[in-house]
Structure 1
Amino acid sequence: MVDLFKEKLSDAEQTVAFGGRLSSACSEATCIYLHGDLGAGKTTLTRGFIQGLGHQGNVKSPTYTLVEPYELADWNVYHFDLYRLGDPEELEFMGIRDYFSDNSHCLVEWPERGEGVLPLADIDLTLRYDGEQRIIALQANTEIGKQVLQKL
């Protein structure tokens, strides 16, 4: 089984395409933590993930709402952006545990801001710049995560 996966992405189009590949590899409910500096491509990748599951509309960053839900034919996808989260306890008040279900994929930007409240990620995904390109690295933390990386 694969525990670590790395790839270079030359531009935003490849980042979106990789998000689509990633969503296709997720056959079970999956929790993915997204790491990277501001502007590294976390929301761009999420757009590809959600569109890869059939969403036709806009995919926006939930910077001010904390979570943006997408109800699709086969899955619910929840895109979290915890950058503006003041205290992890705020997640308890919004019913965070209800989002992590058997028919949902959860993608969490800035997960360190929710430490102690969020469940374990199946995959830790990191995007970082390498000149004009990006390097994406995925680390599997669970059997579900290992199965996803194997499919990639």
Structure 2
Amino acid sequence: MYLKSLEDTRTLAQRLAQTLPHGALVLLTGPMGAGKTTLVKFIAEALGFQGEVTSPTYTLIHEYPTPGGLVVHMDAYRMADQEALYHLGLEDYRPEARLVLIEWGRPEVFPDSLEVRLTPGETGRRVEFFAHGRAFFPKI
């Protein structure tokens, strides 16, 4: 899939928000500036969040309340040991969260996840999807 504009990114976010099951763990990967936080912003908006969405690089976790449940936004960029996210309460969030979105998450650390890989190009961004672990993403 290739996103040529912010509107394309918003459309993808709306589709993901409608399709992903409650409690899904989504890893957002790609280089700096690929659009990971922008995609999170549009997903949170599609689920009804009306506040500001920013990268949790320094705070590690942001929470966005939506009518359908909490959207949890984590950033693993500065974490040498990404398993430490489990110690920050990742598993406590999952049953209650509408979605858990982790920027820079590695599939080998989070095996039951959907990886959304964003790669910037000259005229937009390429998006690739990889289901890791249980295959509960048949609609994407």
Give 1:115 shift: 4.9
Match of 2:72 among 69, 78, 98: 78
Q: Aligned pair 1:136/2:127, yes or no?
A: yes
CA–CA distance in 1 between the matches of 2:82 and 2:97?
24
TM-score (norm 1): 0.81
Structure 2 vs 1, CA of residues 8 and 34 (structure 1 numbering), >3 Å: closer, same or farther?
same
Q: Cα offset for 1:138?
A: 1.1
**Structure 2 residue aligned with 1:60, among 48, 54, 79?**
54
> Which piece of structure 1 moves more, 132-141 or 94-103?
94-103
Q: State the Cα distance separating 1:93 from its structure 2 match.
A: 3.2
For the 8 Å contact 1:70–1:76, the answer to whether it is kept is yes
Provide the rounded CA distance (Å) in 1 between the counterparts of 2:24 and 2:90.
15
Residue 144 of structure 1: how far off its partner (Å): 1.8
Distance 1:84 1:57 in 2: 25
In structure 2, the gaps of 5 or more residues are none
Q: C-alpha distance in 2, partners of 1:40/1:57?
A: 22
Alpha-carbon distance in 2 for matches of 1:77, 1:84:
21
Stretches of structure 1 that go unaligned for 5 or more consecutive residues are: 1-6
In 2: Cα distance, 1:77 partner to 1:96 partner: 12
Q: TM-score, normalised by structure 2?
A: 0.87
Count residues with an aligned counterpart: 139
Q: Deviations over 1:21-40 (max 9, x none)?
A: 21111243211111100000
Aligned residue runs from structure 1 range 21-36, under 5 A:
21-36=15-30
| Cα pair 1:70 1:77 within 8 Å, conserved | yes
SS of the residue 1:97 aligns to? helix
Q: Which has the higher helix share?
A: 1
Query: CA 1:12 to 1:120, structure 2 compared with 1: closer, same or farther past 3 Å?
Result: same
| Aligned position for 2:31 | 37
Residues 14-55 of structure 1 deviation map (CA, whole Å, 9 limit, x = unaligned): 213311221111243211111100000111111111100011
Letter in 1 for 2:45: Q
Are the counterparts in 1 of residues 70 and 96 from structure 2 also a CA contact under 8 Å? Answer: no
CA contact (8 A) 2:82 2:105 kept: no
The structure-2 alpha-carbon separation of the partners of 1:88 and 1:139, relative to structure 1 and needing over 3 Å to count, comes to closer
